[in-house]
């Protein structure tokens, strides 16, 4: 994957289905906002004390289709809503 291709989407695909994802574009300049992914979300995994990954911070992406399945199967819970 070329560096130019990577700049259009997150560096990793959906962790569930491996679908490639793209950042949204905004405004007349079509600037890409790296935290805004089209039909997907990114999240952090923070290795805590007791884990072999203690001290490491990871980022992953899950697409909306897979997120919906995870919620329906009770593997992801809503804990709050931000407006
Ligand atoms: Zn997916």
Q: Annotate 19-53 with DSSP letters as a single string.
A: ----EEEETTTTEEEEEEETTEEEEEEE--TTSTT
pLDDT value of position 1 = 45
Q: Tell me if 26 is assigned to some domain.
A: yes
Number of domains in the chain: 1
83 vs 76: CA distance, rounded Å: 20
Where does the pLDDT of residue 25 fall: very low under 50, low under 70, confident under 90, or very high at 90 and above? confident
Q: Tell me if 46 is assigned to some domain.
A: yes
Q: What is the pTM of this model?
A: 0.78
40 vs 8: CA distance, rounded Å: 14
Q: 17 alpha carbon to ligand 1 midpoint, in Å?
A: 4
Tens-digit pLDDT profile for residues 26-69? 766 666 666 789 999 999 999 999 999 999 999 999 999 999 99
Q: Tell me if 63 is assigned to some domain.
A: yes
pLDDT value of position 65 = 98
CA distances from 2 to 5, 17, 21 (A): 5, 22, 15
Q: 5 alpha carbon to ligand 1 midpoint, in Å?
A: 19
């Amino acid at each position: 994957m070329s560096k130019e291709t990577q700049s259009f989407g997150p560096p990793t695909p959906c962790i569930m289905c491996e679908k490639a994802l793209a950042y949204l574009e905004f405004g007349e300049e079509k600037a890409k906002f790296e935290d805004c992914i089209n039909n997907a979300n990114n999240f952090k995994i923070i290795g805590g004390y007791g884990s072999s990954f203690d001290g490491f911070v990871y980022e992953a992406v899950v697409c909306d289709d897979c997120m919906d399945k995870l919620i329906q199967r009770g593997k992801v819970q809503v804990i709050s809503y931000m407006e």
